[in-house]
Amino acid sequence: MDFDSSHSPNSLALMMESAPATTDEISSLEIAGSSPISKEVIPRTLQGWMTSQARSLTEQKVEEIRRILGQYRGSRQILALQDFPDPDALSCAWAYKLIAQQYDIRCDIVYAGALSHQENIALVRLTGLPAQRWTPQVLKEKDWSAYQSCVFIDNQGTTTQLMPYVQQAGLPIAVVIDHHASQGELKAEFIDLRPQVRATATILVQYLQAGLLSFNTNNSEHVKCATALMHGLRSDTNSLMQAQEEDFLASAYLSRFSDAQLLNSILYASRSKRVMDVIERSLRNRVLQNNFSIAGVGYLRYDDRDAIPQAADFLVTEENVHTAVVYGIVHDEDEELEVVIGSLRTSKLTLDPDEFIKEAFGQDAQGRFFGGGRSMAGGFEIPMGFLSGFNENSEYTRMKWEVFDAQIKQKLFRLINPENDIISTI
Ligand SMILES: [Mn+2]
């Protein structure tokens, strides 16, 4: 983690002094936001909630976005999320929708892939987050002429299948707000890209602080949206452990409106009983060698495939373990398909998950690798080919698992412990 020397150690103390301390002060700020004296009141109050660089940028951006929103007053916008939206994307889209509503802009939040992580499903269900999934079928049938412009939040249009449809419909890109590095040239009327910020939620919260929308604790939609933003901010910063000053200040502001109990239920719901069962199996079956923890968990339903990375997350927390690999056979009953899915988690800085997985499992007949990774994490997917498909015979099913289990272990242990092949082929 890098510590920026420009961060003043006294800035937190300054914040405590100048930040509004009671909700009464907040409501006077809300009133001030629409009155002629707002120019004087808001910057002074913001001093406590934002670093000085963030403050001047935010003020400039808020002025710009107000103008753009004004131009689109009374129109309809499509807000495209990445195909597998995460809490940061979902919550920011909601905050934007509420902002746009003030300009009579109707904004539809749409994603074309799926909500695959239980935590994300819980977030959407528990807060009533207004996001819609458009399947490929729906995409083709949609009347795109209903929309006048398009918005990308927490993405730049490169991670969504909606992009070609947006282009085909000739929709102008009105707004892009993101914290990922620039994905190439982008033509949009309003762009706020801040790769140095850890979560898009931090940017949206700064807009709120600058008066673009006043959250009110008596408005349940505001409370739920603030809770969603808090979850988004936490999940993009590894529970604030990678958060920087700006992110902390944004979450401090959100804590005035967010519902701790609701946030708790979102996090609690993230581990269903079935996920717990998979974690239990991974604990029972794990084999420890050279600080690696390797666990096969047998068969899983397609909907539970996210339990595998969650089990790997858990196993890597054991004392003296730096790397965990968890795998299982995932079967999709509808498609009669079976595939081996695995996840790797490591805390060892010198272990490159991408390299490790590529070396362990190699390539298929077409030369494609069975998996890869990024920093600290990786995954693999091995099709079962001719052996794929559910069989009523439990003895056969057990044998099939044992063969795959032995093969995967053999490949992993060759890398982990080259001198000692623990699985003998004789
Ligand atoms: Mn994000």
CA 221 to CA 316: how far, in whole Å? Answer: 38
CA 338 to CA 330: how far, in whole Å? Answer: 6
- 385 CB contacts (<8 Å, ≥6 apart)? none
Cα–ligand 1 centroid distance for 150 (angstroms): 19
Cα–ligand 1 centroid distance for 358 (angstroms): 27
DSSP 124-167: HHHHT--EEE--HHHHHH--GGG-SEEEEESS-SSS-TTHHHHH
CA distances from 134 to 117, 137, 140, 158, 170 (A): 18, 8, 9, 17, 19
Nearest-5° Cα angle at 44, 43 to 48: 100
Is the CB of residue 298 less than 8 Å from the CB of residue 326?
no
- 365 CB contacts (<8 Å, ≥6 apart)? none
Q: Give me the count of residues in the chain.
A: 426
* Residue ranges of domains in the chain, CATH in brackets: 11-268 (3.90.1640.10), 274-416 (3.10.310.30)
Quote the pTM value. 0.62
pLDDT tens string, the chain, 426 residues long: the values are 333 333 333 333 333 333 333 333 333 333 333 444 444 444 445 556 788 888 899 999 999 999 999 999 999 999 999 888 889 999 999 999 999 999 999 999 999 887 867 788 889 999 999 999 998 788 888 999 999 999 999 999 888 889 999 999 999 999 999 998 787 778 899 999 998 898 999 999 999 999 999 999 999 999 999 999 999 999 888 889 889 999 999 999 999 999 999 999 888 765 778 889 999 999 999 999 999 999 999 999 877 878 898 899 899 999 999 999 999 998 877 667 788 999 999 989 899 888 999 899 998 888 878 887 666 778 898 988 888 887 778 899 999 999 999 999 999 999 998 765 555 444
Cα–ligand 1 centroid distance for 292 (angstroms): 31
Cα–ligand 1 centroid distance for 154 (angstroms): 5
Ion ligand 1 — residues with CB < 5 Å: 88, 154, 200, 236
